[in-house]
Amino acid sequence: MKTIITISPEYQHISSFINTLPQNFQSQGTSIYKARNEIKNFDIDGKTFTVKSYKRPHIINQIAYGTFRQSKAKRAYRYAFSLLDKGINTPTPIAYIEQYQGLLMTNSYFVSLFSPESHILRELSDYKVEGNEDFLKALAAYTASMHEQEIYPVDYSPGNVLFENTNSTFTFTILDINRMKFGFVTEKMAVRCFRRFHMDKSLIEFIAMEYARLRGFDPEVFAKSALKHHTKFFKTEN
């Protein structure tokens, strides 16, 4: 088996930990998420590192990743630097690992610095608009800022956004960034970005209208379309 490992220059001092991850991932670390992929935290030299092990792709994607397409781990690593360069918070990229059998890519891992934010956007499932206007406006502004910088997260969902409230100043950190589009974000693209948000429709409407004002779109038209995509997504999911 061939293994390719890329480590950020600033973290070469933990290369022994990175190099042995494929052998040690299953038996070491603390699992914090396990479904299609698995995410674990590892404490090394006084710091916590988060490692995402991607599920082995099916045979067609094994060929694609092994020949002409970048792996999810490599994209997550490279995209993280692009986001940070534009002032968009995402966990600091540390390394990525790819394993191959011949021309087939079988396993991959993405290593980042652990994000200490204490809240995740899933909490909005219990929120109401009243009393949370400042937070919802901040979320709309955060989303608009990304789009205005030509960053469009394809997997923009409540499970992939962390946030912190410090003296009524809200900061956001985006996770799971291996699927991104870079380029001008049209209104047609933008109205679909909130469709995965599992929350009351009144929140979707409020966020969408605020977003539209910031981007110069018609708030009523934009919100109506955003709600349509939101309803369609969850009908399909169910």
C-alpha 142: how far from chain center: 14
User: 90-112 pLDDT, tens per residue?
Assistant: 999 999 999 998 888 888 999 99
Start-to-end CA distance of the chain, whole Å, equals 41
User: 149-162 pLDDT, tens per residue?
Assistant: 999 999 999 989 99
**For residue 183, what are its two tokens?**
């380029």
- In the numeric block, the tokens 């190099």 are attached to 19
- Rounded to an integer, the average pLDDT of 119-140 is 91
Domain regions of the chain by residue span? 2-113, 119-237
Residue type, 226: A
Q: Is the pTM of this model over 0.85?
A: yes
203-229 b/e with 16+ CB inside 10 Å = b? bbbbbbbbbbebbebebeebbebbbeb
* Residue 181 contacts residue 152 (beta carbons within 8 Å): yes
2-113 belongs to which CATH class? alpha beta
Q: What is the CATH number of domain 119-237?
A: 1.10.510
Quote the DSSP letter at residue 43.
E
User: 8-65 pLDDT, tens per residue?
Assistant: 999 999 999 999 999 999 999 999 988 889 999 999 999 999 999 998 877 777 777 6
Q: Alpha carbon of 23 to those of 3, 17, 19, 68: distances in Å?
A: 11, 10, 9, 26
Q: List all residues 6 or more positions away from 220 whose beta carbon is below 8 Å from its beta carbon.
A: 209
